[in-house]
């Protein structure tokens, strides 16, 4: 059984290869940071690991809107029971902070590319 459907694998590959080199480097840096942090989390608790993996997939896709939503809502566990939230949210704090910083950096890259000075 494969990890991804053929369609999802093609979508990941296409999104990656259609991005410019600087964007790929920036995404790769974020992917590595998030993967290291996710590995640290896995050693402590397996709760919501798939959500973290999904967030990394959206970084690969360059879907910063979804990354920001997931980091802002899903991985803060605001919708979970209070006791669970109090236990799990601190464990994910660094992962969430890395994802939010990556979104801010992506927004800055986008703004930089949109200015006439950046293209000159």
Is a pLDDT exceeding 60 seen at residue 2?
no
Q: Average per-residue pLDDT in the chain? A: 86
Is a pLDDT exceeding 50 seen at residue 120?
no
End-to-end CA distance of the chain: 49
Sign of CA dihedral 104, 98, 33, 77: negative
Its pTM stands at: 0.82
- Residues 26 and 109 sit within 8 Å (Cβ to Cβ): yes
Structure-token pair, residue 51: 């959500």
Can you give the pLDDT at residue 99? 97
Find all residues with CB under 8 Å of 60, minimum gap 6, and list them: 12, 15, 16, 27, 31
């Amino acid at each position: 059984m494969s990890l991804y459907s053929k369609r999802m694998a093609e979508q990941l590959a296409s999104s990656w290869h259609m991005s410019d080199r600087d964007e790929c480097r920036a995404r790769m840096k974020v992917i590595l940071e998030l993967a290291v942090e996710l590995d640290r989390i896995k050693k402590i608790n397996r709760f919501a690991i798939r959500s973290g993996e999904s967030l990394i997939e959206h970084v690969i896709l360059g879907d910063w809107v979804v990354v920001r939503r997931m980091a802002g809502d899903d991985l803060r566990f605001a919708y979970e029971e209070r006791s669970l939230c109090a236990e799990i949210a601190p464990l994910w704090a660094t992962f969430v902070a890395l994802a939010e910083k990556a979104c801010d950096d992506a927004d800055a890259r986008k703004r930089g590319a949109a200015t006439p000075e950046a293209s000159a």
